[in-house]
Structure 1
Amino acid sequence: MECHTSLFEASKRPIVDVVDPGGVVRSQVIESPDASLRITLNGADSDRALAGRFVAGRLGSAVQHVAFESSDLFETERRLRKRGFQALPIPGNYYDDLEARFGLDGSMLAQLREGSILYDEDEGGQFLQLYSRPYGDGFFFEIVERRQGYGGYGAANAPFRAAAMKRLVSRELRTSALFHKLPQLFIAAWHPVLVDWTSFFA
């Protein structure tokens, strides 16, 4: 921590607890004076949490994701999608909840839903987040847009993002396991037929 603050002349924000489907993640932000550089340090006591599992597999430290800033996230998402970018799928009930919490108009909600973009706001402004699907064993990208003077990091969205990633990873693991079993299932299904034909020509 002291290395980061001295190297980048950054200051520390208070530690906050972020809810994860697998446990609580302790998160602390360090940022440069002009906030052009922001680093979030996460840790968890349980490896059931995505952050805890990621760190446990790397002997205590690693870069789990990199975030970039956009001045127009809706346009950025459209351009990325045309180039094959796959966003993290966000369930529809998240957007139903947004409507109830913030009273967003239909056009705004439709754009958020179409792009799988997450939303938050505080007294300073609005915050939009777009996540990639995880690569390899958990690394992912994030693109954000800060409107007006929003000063947070979308902590309210962290449980939804973590749950969406967990669902996606679990589904892909099940698909991968089934794919590896297909040759065995195919042989098992056709083996009696092969035996019958062998007997027929004997």
Structure 2
Amino acid sequence: MPPPAPVEAVEFIEFTVSEAERPGFEKLLCALGFARAGAHRSKDVDLWRQGDIRIVLNSEADGFAHSYQITHGTSVCALALRVPDAQAAIARAKALLDVPHAGAIGPDELDIPAVRGLGGSLLYFLDQASALGRWAEVDFEATGEVSDDAGLTGVDHVSQSMQYEEMLTWLLFYSSLFETRKTPSQAVLDPGGVVQSQVIESGLDGRNGHGLRLILNGSQSHRTLSARFITDFFGSGVQHIAFATDDIAATVKRLAANGVAMLPIPENYYDDLEARSDLTAQEIDAMKALNILHDSDAGGAFRQAYTQTLDGGLFFEIVQRDGYAGYGAANAGIRLTAQSRLARPISVPAPSHG
């Protein structure tokens, strides 16, 4: 069996979306600063890019993504992870009795190895040492389209929600397949109960990419946002994606100007922040105006902001890391409270006015 290898990067995130909902989702991607960079040579699939982030939008009328969309609606149906050797990774997965997946391959298209992952989604393996490293140019024709970049640079982390009873199973799945490090499990207080959160990290030494940060969430309470997501989603899946930026204030201002609905943070959070941090009043006022949360550790500072929840329960996070190693656990309770206060989900951003 090939040895476990580190994950070098999240190569792409694949969304499945119906033709009817596609215009609204494309509008959201544009508002987030993504550009439609490629059109698939034979399928109803597009490639969107910003910084080192690649999003694949799949609206095929049949096949795996279509079946996943029928069950779960617009959602993340696959994650593609870059590893040193994709064939070794799939060989290890098969030896571990993970379920391989083979989709329909058109003429001159790449056969990307994959296994079934959480909730029946797919986990693709890619590498830079073979033709798989050229997947974007082989399978997609460049469009030449550009957009108003919002400053997003990469995928910081991906959060998956699952039944509490599944958490050990999927922790074993990832830790046996890849070279990983897990942080101590944490209990996060949600207005509806307690959510157990487990972080898995791989390849964060920075030698070959951004690595992988994955958060597994599960709750025994049926009233938490995590549990409600699973009910509404009809299963386990990706609940939120965090994108990195080097300047969160500039990014959030750009997103707000583009009509992206950001999550409003209660004012008392900033009163507490002033009491427990050494931030100046001016710094706190600037974060308050943009609904930015703050945390710090021995390594440095961390700032984060959230979009409002989309139809289906998905939301996005924007983060700025300055030497900080964690995930803003101190702010999780306030974020969950703020999300619980919203009366209804927001599906698309409001139109831009300038």
TM over 0.5: yes
Task: Select the residue among 211, 220, 224 that pairs with 1:49.
Answer: 224
Task: Select the residue among 158, 169, 177 that pairs with 2:332.
Answer: 158
Contact 1:11–1:33 (CA<8 Å) still a contact in 2?
A: no
Q: Considering only CA atoms, is the larger Rg found in Structure 1 or Structure 2?
A: 1
Which residue of the partner structure matches residue 344 of structure 2? 172
1:1-202 matches, within 5 Å, as: 1=170, 2-34=172-204, 36-148=211-323, 150-168=324-342, 171-172=343-344
Greater share of residues in strand: 2
**Paired amino acid for 2:183:** R
Contact 1:19–1:25 (CA<8 Å) still a contact in 2?
A: yes
Contact 2:201–2:214 (CA<8 Å) still a contact in 1?
A: yes
Consecutive unaligned residues in structure 2, runs of 5 or more: 1-169, 205-209, 346-354
SS of residue matched to 1:144: strand
Q: Please give the per-residue CA displacement for 1:84-142, whole angstroms capped at 9, x wherever unaligned.
A: 11110111111111000103102211111011011111122111011000000321000
**Paired amino acid for 1:46:** S
Shift of residue 59, structure 1, vs aligned partner? 4.7
**Paired amino acid for 1:104:** L
Q: Please give the per-residue CA displacement for 1:25-71, whole angstroms capped at 9, x wherever unaligned.
A: 00001111216311100000011111122123445411110111111
Contact 2:233–2:313 (CA<8 Å) still a contact in 1?
A: no
Runs of 4+ residues over 6 Å off in structure 1: none
Contact 1:66–1:141 (CA<8 Å) still a contact in 2?
A: yes
Consecutive unaligned residues in structure 1, runs of 5 or more: 174-202
Q: Please give the per-residue CA displacement for 1:147-169, whole angstroms capped at 9, x wherever unaligned.
A: 12x1111111111000101101x
The number of aligned residues is: 170
How far apart, CA to CA, are the structure 2 residues paired with 1:60 and 1:82?
Answer: 34
User: Identity over aligned residues, as a percent?
Assistant: 49
CA root-mean-square deviation: 1.7
How far apart, CA to CA, are the structure 2 residues paired with 1:10 and 1:56?
Answer: 29
Contact 1:55–1:61 (CA<8 Å) still a contact in 2?
A: yes
SS of residue matched to 1:64: strand
Contact 1:46–1:53 (CA<8 Å) still a contact in 2?
A: no
Shift of residue 6, structure 1, vs aligned partner? 4.5
